[in-house]
A = this chain, B = another copy of it.
Amino acid sequence: MIDQNRIAAANARQEADLRADYDALAHQLDRRGVNIERITEAVMAFGVAVPSWGVGTGGTRFARFPGPGEPRHIFDKLEDCAVIQDLTATTPRVSLHFPWDQVEDMDGLFESGRALGLAFDAVNSNTFQDHPADPRHPLSYKFGSLSHTDPAVRQQAVEHNVLCIELGRKVGANALTVWIGDGSNFPGQAHFARAFERYVESMQAVHGDLPEGWKLFLEHKIHEPAFYSTVIQDWGSSLMAAQAIGPAAHCLVDLGHHAPNVNIEMIVARLAAAGRLGGFHFNDSKYGDDDLDAGSIDPFRLFLVFNELVDAERRGLAGFAPAYMLDQSHNVTDPIESLMTSAIEVARAYAQALIVDRASLDQHQEANDVMLAAQTLKRAFTTDVTPILAMARARKGAAIDPLAVYRASGYRRQVAEIRPAAKGGGGGIV
């Protein structure tokens, strides 16, 4: 979607400066025993999936303020995703959401992606909204879906998930992410134990329909849209459920779905140890499920998460292969800019985690040399790996400065001419 010549020309202007910064960093890392080329190669091999819904402007229950050129459908969205991948070379896959992205011709969708250089990651089902236009959805999810007291509603929700698997197969996905809004707003509204049992039973049915090699991701969340209790409210419930559902069930960690103060990197370690770490929805947050750009609020936390991931990989935990995906809501920025930036910040955390001197860290941990252990880890974070990230992009034909090239390209202006202005509002969901 972005002219390669434009990228190349821009890179050419910045190449010398990048080379200088890169070489200086190479020397510094070399003194610290780190070969910069191995880090750069690892970053080049790294990718994080983009959520199809992330290229549209998000909103809150109070309002939504769309920007120019909002994508009208999945084909528009794919084009926006391709822009992100063209400029960052960090987002090779797109995660679809049904029914939002469902089209008659799913094979054609797959081809459209391929033509744009995009593959497809885990697909997402949706039983947190009603689907009034869909004759297969006559029943409402107002009081729950997979955990509903009415078996007919549960059955409808199971069938929707099964359909999502089918649709996902057609585009080459190999995982289904299930996030439900089921829960309660009042003490007494729901019976905790029974709701959980019903959820597990429904998910076992979905699990039974998984194709060979597929994974089933369970996404927990402490609250919202339910405000007193949520059926899968934390990683403990998620793990209990995954173990009960079956071997393909894995737990997905969204960084914004936890109680205040919770140590998320420790949860990552626990789920990895349990053999059930499925993957991530990356974003950042200050208060709740704020869905802000990855690394924008607490970049050290993001680094600490990747520290666990790199460590788990290094220890060779059996079956350790978490899926990485962005899941954000862009309310005040151009979504393409936010997703490019976020993908780079995720890669930054990964690069920083890679340069941790793990032999020293191990040694200091074993010896309870707290200060040196802490400094060994922190030193990787204070290192400015920007040149590594830029060099990795440049080597893959993407932009040294993706944001500048994107703005110069006029892409947003062009699509705004084609795509009609979206309606804002939000109207009274207060």
B286 near A261 with CB under 8 A, answer: yes
Say whether A15 faces chain B, with CB atoms less than 8 Å apart.
Answer: no
Of B64, B196, B233, B403, the residue contacting A375 (CB under 8 A) is: B403
A341 near B371 with CB under 8 A, answer: yes
**Bound-state Cα–Cα, A400 to B88, Å:** 37
**Bound-state Cα–Cα, A298 to B296, Å:** 12
CB neighbours (8 Å) of A25 from chain B are 24
**Bound-state Cα–Cα, A341 to B377, Å:** 14
Say whether A240 faces chain B, with CB atoms less than 8 Å apart.
Answer: yes
Output the least CB separation between A133 and chain B (Å): 10
CB neighbours (8 Å) of A228 from chain B are 263, 286, 290, 292, 296-297
**Bound-state Cα–Cα, A56 to B301, Å:** 29
Interface positions of A from 201 to 244, Cβ below 8 Å from B: 222-225, 227-229, 233-237, 239-240
A425 near B132 with CB under 8 A, answer: yes
CB neighbours (8 Å) of A296 from chain B are 186-187, 228, 374, 378
Interface flags for A28-43 (1: CB within 8 Å of B; 0: not) read 1001000000000000
Q: A299-B300, A425-B129 are in contact. Are A270 and B236 (CB under 8 A)?
A: yes
Say whether A12 faces chain B, with CB atoms less than 8 Å apart.
Answer: no
Say whether A285 faces chain B, with CB atoms less than 8 Å apart.
Answer: yes
Interface positions of A from 295 to 346, Cβ below 8 Å from B: 296-301, 304, 307-308, 311-312, 315, 329, 331-334, 337-338, 341
B17 near A129 with CB under 8 A, answer: no
Say whether A189 faces chain B, with CB atoms less than 8 Å apart.
Answer: yes
CB neighbours (8 Å) of A191 from chain B are 311, 362, 365
Stretch at the interface among A115-123, A160-168, A170-178, A379-387: A379-387
Which residue of chain B has the shortest Cβ distance to A241 in the bound complex?
Answer: B270
CB neighbours (8 Å) of A9 from chain B are none
CB neighbours (8 Å) of A27 from chain B are 20
Which residue of chain B has the shortest Cβ distance to A21 in the bound complex?
Answer: B28
**Bound-state Cα–Cα, A65 to B185, Å:** 14
A376 near B188 with CB under 8 A, answer: yes
How many identical subunits does the complex contain? 4
Output the least CB separation between A272 and chain B (Å): 7
CB neighbours (8 Å) of A129 from chain B are 62-63, 424-427
Say whether A414 faces chain B, with CB atoms less than 8 Å apart.
Answer: no
Say whether A69 faces chain B, with CB atoms less than 8 Å apart.
Answer: no
A287 near B365 with CB under 8 A, answer: no
**Bound-state Cα–Cα, A386 to B25, Å:** 13
A329 near B430 with CB under 8 A, answer: yes
Say whether A59 faces chain B, with CB atoms less than 8 Å apart.
Answer: yes
Output the least CB separation between A339 and chain B (Å): 11
Which residue of chain B has the shortest Cβ distance to A133 in the bound complex?
Answer: B425
CB neighbours (8 Å) of A377 from chain B are 187-188
Which residue of chain B has the shortest Cβ distance to A274 in the bound complex?
Answer: B240
A333 near B240 with CB under 8 A, answer: no
A130 near B63 with CB under 8 A, answer: yes
**Bound-state Cα–Cα, A65 to B129, Å:** 8
B261 near A374 with CB under 8 A, answer: no
A143 near B332 with CB under 8 A, answer: yes
CB neighbours (8 Å) of A365 from chain B are 149, 188-191, 194
**Bound-state Cα–Cα, A428 to B72, Å:** 12
* Pairs across A and B, CB under 8 Å, 15 listed: A21-B28, A60-B61, A63-B225, A132-B423, A186-B293, A186-B371, A187-B297, A187-B304, A193-B273, A196-B273, A223-B261, A223-B288, A228-B296, A291-B430, A298-B301
Shortest Cβ-Cβ A-B pairs, 3 listed: A236-B236, A188-B377, A24-B24
